[in-house]
Amino acid sequence: MTLSSAPGKVYLFGEHAVVYGEPAVPCAIERRARVEVRRRDDDKLRVHAEDLSLDGFTVEYGGQTDDRPDVDVSEGLIDAAMGYVDGAIDQVRDATGEDEVGFDVTIESDIPLGAGLGSSAAVVVAAIDAASRELGVTLERDEIARRAFETEYEVQDGQASRADTFCSATGGAVRVEGDDCRSIEAPDLPIVVGFDGGAGDTGALVAGVRALREEYEFAGDTVEAIGDVVRNGEDVLATGDLEELGRLMNFNHGLLSALGVSSRSLDAMVWAARDAGAYGAKLTGAGGGGCIVALDPTDATETALKFTPGCEDAFRAELAEEGVKRLE
């Protein structure tokens, strides 16, 4: 049996624009997915999932089946269990040369599912690491990140970027622009996360931005403006100027709102954080619902969010300096 964990992430800057080759700066946070893997005597997969925002469940099926298991849980949760885990296991089979191997996979996570905190990336990264080690192969973090991206790219119909998976595999703050992924220095950021209890439809939101870019030239200019914010933001990040960093986060949120990917609940949490004195606040991830990220070294933003209608949870999140962890 092997056990690995991988962190979730927040975007300081750059979501959506990163899909079009602009840079993005996500940061890993100490909210983790843990994946335990045991090799089976056959080629089937048995997936047991807990704490993925909904009730836990267990599914056993042949790893190559095209049919969904007949279980009464949400389609999104089944996608997490089958699509991402199947893809991760396919990557492990390819990396190890063991094509007929099966696994018992147990997933536990304290990352809200589909909320913009990189839950799927964390599950895929941890699953690839744990399953490959169960077969006696230890992959380098860069290779885990590459294979995890290929998994997300396929499951998300080509709409994934390398940002989430690279950040989850390596930890810390990272800069992603196209295929160029690298770690960057960051101060000890006072990150506060607000969660509305929901989840946006990533595919629909990405498609909506694409449609806007095709219809309006200024929508393309907006995406490029987000890239400009990111470039300024990474310079500021190096100086540790949290006030300026917050201002740029506010700009980034405004541009994302203009692209139609915010929501009433996200905007309400953003303004609650700003009114409480946060340096800055913005949505994180695809949008449409889910989470916002704010910078505030005091307790004021977390307290304000807990009293904001539509906010289900608020918590402080430390920067995860280490990415994938090998626990057993």
What is the pLDDT at residue 55? 43
Band (59; pLDDT cuts 50, 70, 90): low
pLDDT band per the 50, 70, 90 thresholds, residue 155: confident
pLDDT digits (tens, 9 = 90+) for 185-201: 898 899 999 999 888 88
Q: Known binder of ligand: residue 56?
A: no
**β-pairing verdict for 103-109 and 44-50:** parallel
118 annotated among ligand-binding-site residues: yes
pLDDT at residue 31 tops 50? yes
Predicted local confidence at residue 53, as pLDDT: 45
Region 2-184: CATH code:
3.30.230.10
**What is the DSSP code string of 267-323?**
HHHHHHHHHTT-SEEEE-SS-SSSEEEEE-SSSHHHHHHHTSTT--EEEEE-B-S--
C-alpha 314/C-alpha 55 separation (Å) is: 21
The CATH homologous superfamily of the domain defined by 191-317: GHMP kinase, C-terminal domain (3.30.70.890)
114 is in an annotated binding site: yes
Mean pLDDT of 141-160: 88
Q: Give percent of the chain above pLDDT 70.
A: 90
Whether 317 has a binding-site annotation, put simply, is no
Q: What is the pLDDT of residues 98-129, one digit of tens each?
A: 988 999 999 998 888 778 898 889 999 999 99
Q: What is the pLDDT of residues 200-240, one digit of tens each?
A: 888 788 889 999 999 999 999 999 999 999 999 999 998 99
pTM above 0.85, yes or no: yes
- Helix locations, 216-284, DSSP H: 217-239, 242-258, 264-275
- In this prediction, residues 165-177 reach a mean pLDDT of 95
| Residue 283 labelled as part of a binding site | no
Average pLDDT of the chain is 89
- Could you report the per-residue pLDDT of 37-57, keeping only the tens digit for each? 999 999 888 888 765 543 444
Strand 173-177 to 57-62 pairing: unpaired
Q: Is 69 annotated as a binding residue?
A: no
Percent over 90 (pLDDT), the chain: 71
| Domain residue limits, the chain | 2-184, 191-317
- Which region, left, alpha or beta, applies to residue 130 given φ > 0 means left and ψ of -120 to 50 means alpha? alpha
At 46 the pLDDT is 87
pLDDT tens digits, 267-285: 999 999 999 999 999 999 9
| Cβ 144 vs Cβ 128: under 8 Å | yes
Q: Do 27 and 15 form a contact (C-beta atoms < 8 A)?
A: no
Catalytic residues, which ones? 164
pLDDT at 82: 72
266 assigned ligand-binding residue:
no
Residue 199 annotated as binding site: no
